[in-house]
Chains A and B, each alone.
Chain A
Amino acid sequence: MDLRLNDAELAFRDRLRDWLAGVLPELPPAPDRDDWPARRRYDTAWQRRLFDAGYAGVDWPAEHGGLGASPTEQLIFLEETARARAPYVGANFVGLLHAGPTLIVEGTDEQRARHLPRILRGEEVWCQGFSEPDAGSDLASLRTSAVRDGDEYVINGRKVWTSHAEVADFCELLVRTDPEAPRHKGITWLILPMDTPGVQVRPLRTVVGSSEFSELILDDVRVPAANRVGEENDGWRVAMVTFSFERGTAFIGDVVESGNILRETVAIARATPARGGGTLWDDAALRRDAGRLAAEVNGLWALIRKNVSEASAGMVPVQGASVFKLRFTESRQRIADLASHVLGRAALTLEEHVVEDRVNTLSFTIAAGTSQIQRNILAERALGLPKEPRWT
């Protein structure tokens, strides 16, 4: 075991640092949270800069236009960009982290040629239409139907919690093509152009007050059969491929952010007078809580390095990914709580960054597999305990 980076990795890191130091000061100010067209422009412009500098698709294979970077280089990329406070992947998330990698593995040559270069250049924004009102954790119970009509599918149904739908060009859509088949056997993965007639996007207001996600109403939406990824009724397997890209590294930037918020909180505590004299930071209980959270953040870094090392060795860190998701999301919420406690009654406005964060991080233990589902996964797959009741 070894914590050191090798020469190539150090060179990769230094080149990236230099580039970030040059490019970040040139960026325009980040747009307003609710101005989605502006957010799309901002996020895709950043993607274009990454592309021009040769940093687009760090984890994508080189033959598909990516950087073909090793897992350790991906870690360096995500950690360094977050530390330098570069823009987050934002609206490019689904394209770069889900749809693109899925097309690389499962798509046809035409589909790859059509989409991959545009995703890399920030010319195409994707969203994910998996969840439905009655199919969340139990995704395989999804009901949105697609009926074959000549060389088209006719789609009817509803999707929900679709992030970035308002500004997306395409949607990775899971539909039911065989309602008679066992649940996992009748699903198909389709590319849905969002401008197809019959697609209606209804923004949903989140607890932060923003419209991060939407409801999709699909009413006789016609999609060419050529937009199918993988075989008809083989979509569950394709979706599992999609999910496999979600594990592991997606949250690295957020761990950097955890450390930042913790340090900002301490700085505020040091500067805030306490009742009866001194500052809030004189409170030993606060220091202990902050120290415990610092230990947690350091532990998460250690776990990331272990997961990345396992990925480098060709292993799939399923257990490590669930442990990470579970612990990261919960400690992230505790850090946000601590920050708000330090602010006290100043924490009564969402304008305060840490307060918005406190509300926003409520979603962390829900999205991408709830904490309860992560515990089920760990108990069953890692510990071999009897399985939950499941559809067959």
Chain B
Amino acid sequence: MDLTPSADQRDLRAGVRDFLAGRWTPDRLRAASASPSGSAAGSAGLDPDDWKALGELGVFALGLPEERGGAGLGLVDAAIVFEELGRALVPGPLTATFLAAGLVPGADDGTSAVTALDLGDPTLVAEHLGSSAQVVLVDDGLWLLPADALAAVPLDAPLDPLTPVWRVTDPPEGGRLIGTGADAERWRTRAAVLTSALQVGVAQGALDLAVRYAKERVQFGRAVGSFQAVKHLLAESLARVDLARAATWTAALAVDGPADRPADGGAAEAVSSAKVLADDAAAANGRCCVQVHGGMGFTWEVAAHLYLKRAWLLETCWGGADEHARRLAATL
């Protein structure tokens, strides 16, 4: 049993972090999210070069076997990479494209972005439809549809300025069957783990930003981070992200392999637990980040809101915390 990252995993994290730090600088994020009222279709389209670069880095293919151009890595390695993507607030249909690698041509190397639609959700809203070539419909099987074949209208003023969204107007029909019911289940499970990993990253990024500000901002003649009321908010944020990360790693490992986990439950419980804890960590840490910034936290200028809004977006993906909590309850 070992729940500490190996040397390879630490290198993987560092490599992705360095790459993203060079590309997704605070200025770049600010510029990309510049227009609060921009419509989805108009603004914030993905830059194909960014997507390509992620593909070249191996982000989407890392789970594929080596003979198919991948790195043969496990879901827990993907979770480490996705945590970094979340921490850097990288926009795009990351989870869907990762899961489409090997199923949809062009997904693995970042030539095309692939989005997904969870038909189990009563409200059908697709992310990044305008920048995606294909949509994977996840129902009691997997279907592939060209993105422009989906009847959908862009929503104005998307909540997360870096994630344009489209409301689907007519139930999607047709498409090419690319996976069975079991594949669809597999997709949902893995998507929930990867979304949890993104949320852990969002939670960590929000905490880092808040801690930096708390050390710099001076009031009453001292750094606001010396006030216990502020310190304890941040300590709670740290506790949330630590717990969520451990739970997400555990879920990723449990999904990937048989484990003699002496603890209760199997993979499904581990996944639902991770999603509950990661959604909570991301949203609460985002809120904490805004609060610790005071009035600055309420400005578009400071990135605090971007973490919180991303958290609010991701918590709607692949089962919200309440739904996962009810699933867990059913196992008790």
Contacts and interface: CB of A to CB of B under 8 A. Distances in A.
B21 interface: no
Contacts of A291: 272, 276, 324-330, 332
Contact of A294 (B1, B215, B258, B332): B332
A301 B9 contact: no
Contacts of A308: 1, 3
B238 A382 contact: yes
A309 interface: yes
Nearest to A379: B231
Given A262-B332, A266-B332, A294-B328, A379 B234 contact: yes
Q: Which 9 A-B pairs have the closest CB atoms?
A: A291-B325, A379-B231, A291-B329, A298-B273, A386-B226, A302-B246, A295-B276, A3-B259, A375-B235
A207 interface: no
Interface string B225-265: 11010011011101100111011011001100111111111
Contact of B232 (A287, A298, A303, A375): A375
A95 B331 CA distance: 39
B235 A312 contact: no
Interface in B310-332: 321-322, 324-332
Contact of B331 (A76, A83, A289, A294): A294
B269 A298 contact: yes
B4 A309 contact: yes
A309 B2 CA distance: 5
15 contacts: A3-B3, A4-B260, A5-B262, A72-B1, A288-B322, A288-B325, A290-B332, A294-B328, A295-B272, A306-B4, A319-B238, A378-B235, A378-B238, A383-B235, A385-B211
Given A298-B269, A376-B231, 18 more contacts: A4-B257, A4-B259, A5-B260, A5-B262, A9-B1, A76-B262, A289-B325, A290-B329, A291-B328, A298-B270, A299-B243, A299-B277, A300-B243, A372-B228, A375-B235, A378-B238, A383-B234, A386-B222
Band of interface residues on A: 35 or more
B231 A327 contact: no
Interface residues of B, number: 59
Given A298-B273, A299-B246, A309-B2, A10 B260 contact: yes
Given A2-B253, A288-B322, A375 B3 contact: no
B9 A295 contact: no
Contact of A306 (B3, B235, B262, B273): B3
B9 A1 contact: yes
A372 B226 CA distance: 14
A1 B226 CA distance: 37
B329 A303 contact: no
Contacts of A266: 329, 332
Interface string A260-286: 001100100000000000000000100
**Residue among A13, A294, A305, A374 with the most chain B CB within 10 A?**
A294
A295 B3 contact: no
B6 interface: yes
A1 B269 contact: no
Contact of B269 (A292, A294, A313, A379): A294
B193 interface: no
Contacts of B247: 295, 298-299, 302-303
A212 B257 CA distance: 45
Contact of B242 (A83, A309, A319, A372): A319
A287 B329 contact: yes
B326 to A, nearest CB: 5
Contacts of B232: 372, 375-376, 379
Interface of B: 1-6, 9, 76, 211, 214-215, 222-223, 225-226, 228, 231-232, 234-236, 238-239, 242-244, 246-247, 249-250, 253-254, 257-265, 269-270, 272-274, 276-277, 321-322, 324-332
Nearest to B321: A292
Interface in A61-101: 72, 76, 79-80, 83
Given A1-B2, A3-B254, A385-B225, A379 B332 contact: no
A20 to B, nearest CB: 13
B225 A2 contact: no
Contacts of B329: 266, 287-288, 290-291, 294
A299 to B, nearest CB: 4
Contact of B243 (A289, A290, A327, A378): A327
A295 B1 contact: no
A387 to B, nearest CB: 8
Interface string A215-244: 000000000000000000000000000000
Nearest to A263: B332
Contacts of B234: 379, 383, 385
A3 B250 contact: yes
